[in-house]
Amino acid sequence: MAARRALKAVLVDLSGTLHIEDSAIPGAQEALKRLRSAPVAVKFVTNTTKECKRTLFERLKKLQFDIAEDEIFTSLTAARNLLEHKQLRPVLLVEDSALEDFQGIDTSDPNAVVIGLAPEHFNYQTMNSAFRLILDGAPLIAIHKARYYKRKDGLALGPGPFVTGLEYAADTEATVVGKPEKTFFLEALRDLGCSPEEAVMIGDDARDDVGGAQNAGMLGILVRTGKYRQGDEGKINPLPYLTCDGFPQAVEHIIENLL
Amino acid sequence: MMAEWKDCINDLKGVVLDICGVLYDSGEGGGVPIPGSVEAVKRIKASGLKLRFCTNETQATRDKFVAKLQRMGFDISVNEVFSPAPAACKILKDRGLRPHLLVYDEVVPEFADVDKSNPNCVVVGDAADNFSYKNVNEAFRVLIGLEKPVLISLGRGRYYKETDGLKLDVGIYMKALEYACDIEAEVVGKPAKMFFQSALADMGVEPHQAIMIGDDLVNDVGGAQQCGMKALQVRTGKYRPNDEKHPTVKADGYVNNLAEAVDGILKHLGE
């Protein structure tokens, strides 16, 4: 096997990997402390369109995780980074609760459209305004393209169908920034100054976490917690670099083999 | 241009016209005729050429729509107009389909004779403001709950022009529902071949003896060409300059408006 460059960064998924709702994965807090004693940067990555960083941070702090708010990188952060990087002024079709993560971004005289999960924005008028901007060349940025999700009152359309509709309308392709897109992982690593080959991702979602990370050039470690189901490792190609019982085991492996 | 006109009118017996963007622009107060179009329609009829109208208009019943055009001065009657809703009704009845309608309120009467109870399919039309999240979601829930989801789309246009700018057309919501349910819609109306063919059959004219004039390069011009007709794109309505550089569809001619198209046709018909 060709020698890889030394590990510089570890990306860790949140829900299902470090915690499940309001319970931490047993031993995860200690494992995180051990990881921090190693010479690697750590970032916490997650797809979300509704929860701002502060909400996620407060939940993890309550669970005694040693974490700083600016170490959290979400699909909303990925969108923000892209906007800043390309100096775009967006129309933000996202839930109010997510707007906090876009504070400071100039939204006057928009020349880009950002779409998240925001049913109240998917009305005909707003879609038309977004369409006209995109037709004139404004980039369309999608937080993710989920088809639908489960609500208390039944299934509900996600942003995916509306993004697809706008892509067809304007004959263009959206830049999707959430997992498992390459953009997500590359953006997460951007300010760490390391390449994907110098990073490893730990997560419970074979396709979105591990598959996506490996597709971006990183190593992927699949943990058997959260949404993991037996056999998930066989669902991606190439297979995960490693499948192990949980976050603590993943950290052990990294410390013993990858530093 | 001379050679192209000769090709277009060789053995010409019938003309098929799109309505929105060719005859008039829709919008506030019902819309505005495009300059020269009223006269142009009269001239076609006076020339002895057969004439039919193929429209994907689904914001009104044919009766109301034609009455509006007549008030604008157009020489047009209901039996000359081919629109998707009546064509869809026939298909629904033939196949025992009971639709959940995601359409503009004013076209619902076209579906009066169709059984809409316990829906086993969704029909989507140009619903405009009726495309609220709630309504699109409702249609989605019907489809996702069916063992064999059937989605019938009245046209598949991307956008059309109204007096106050471009507006999203039915195609967007067709694509949205296709993506959400991972299915493929059946299109009734342009550019479906059957739709053009029914107008040609009604005129008793073969495809190569007919010419289509429209503002939508892919659905009007491309669709007609797929049937063996010649087709011209007008630079009114939803036309955009980029249309003339389209990678796959090339109109047989590009004209500024219907009046210019008719000038060319009648001039060269006389030669």
Low-confidence ranges of chain B (pLDDT < 50): 1-2
Which residues of chain A neighbour B128 with C-beta distances below 8 Å? 124
* Residue A87, helix vs strand vs coil: coil
- Average pLDDT over chain B, rounded to whole? 95
> Which of these, B145, B63, B78, B161, lies nearest to B112 by C-alpha position?
B63
Residue type, A65: F
**Plot region of B31 (φ>0 → left; ψ -120 to 50 → alpha; else → beta):** left
What pTM does this model have?
0.84
Which residues of chain B neighbour A162 with C-beta distances below 8 Å? 176
A241 in contact with B, Cβ within 8 Å: no
Determine whether the interchain pair B177/A161 forms a contact, defined as Cβ–Cβ distance below 8 Å.
yes
Instruction: Give the pLDDT confidence score for residue A6 in this predicted structure.
Output: 87
Torsions phi, psi of B188, nearest 5?
Answer: -115, 130
B269/B263 Cα distance (integer angstroms): 10
Instruction: Give the pLDDT confidence score for residue B271 in this predicted structure.
Output: 66
Contacts of B96 (CB under 8 A, 6+ apart): none
Chain B residues bordering chain A (beta-carbon distance below 8 Å): 128-133, 136-137, 140-141, 144, 158-159, 165-169, 171-173, 175-180, 182
B33-65 confidence digits (pLDDT tens): 999 999 999 999 999 999 999 999 999 999 999
A150/A158 Cα distance (integer angstroms): 10
A11/A73 Cα distance (integer angstroms): 9
Nearest to A135 among B166, B173, B182 (CB): B166
Which residues of chain B neighbour A165 with C-beta distances below 8 Å? 168, 172-173, 175-176, 179
Determine whether the interchain pair B132/A169 forms a contact, defined as Cβ–Cβ distance below 8 Å.
no
Alpha helices in chain A (DSSP H): 28-36, 53-62, 75-85, 96-99, 124-135, 159-170, 182-190, 212-215, 247-257
Instruction: Give the pLDDT confidence score for residue B2 in this predicted structure.
Output: 45
Low-confidence ranges of chain A (pLDDT < 70): 1-5
Residue type, B34: I
Q: B234 - beta bridge partners? A: B255
> Which of these, A176, A235, A183, lies nearest to A205 by C-alpha position?
A235
Locus of tokens 């085991």: A249
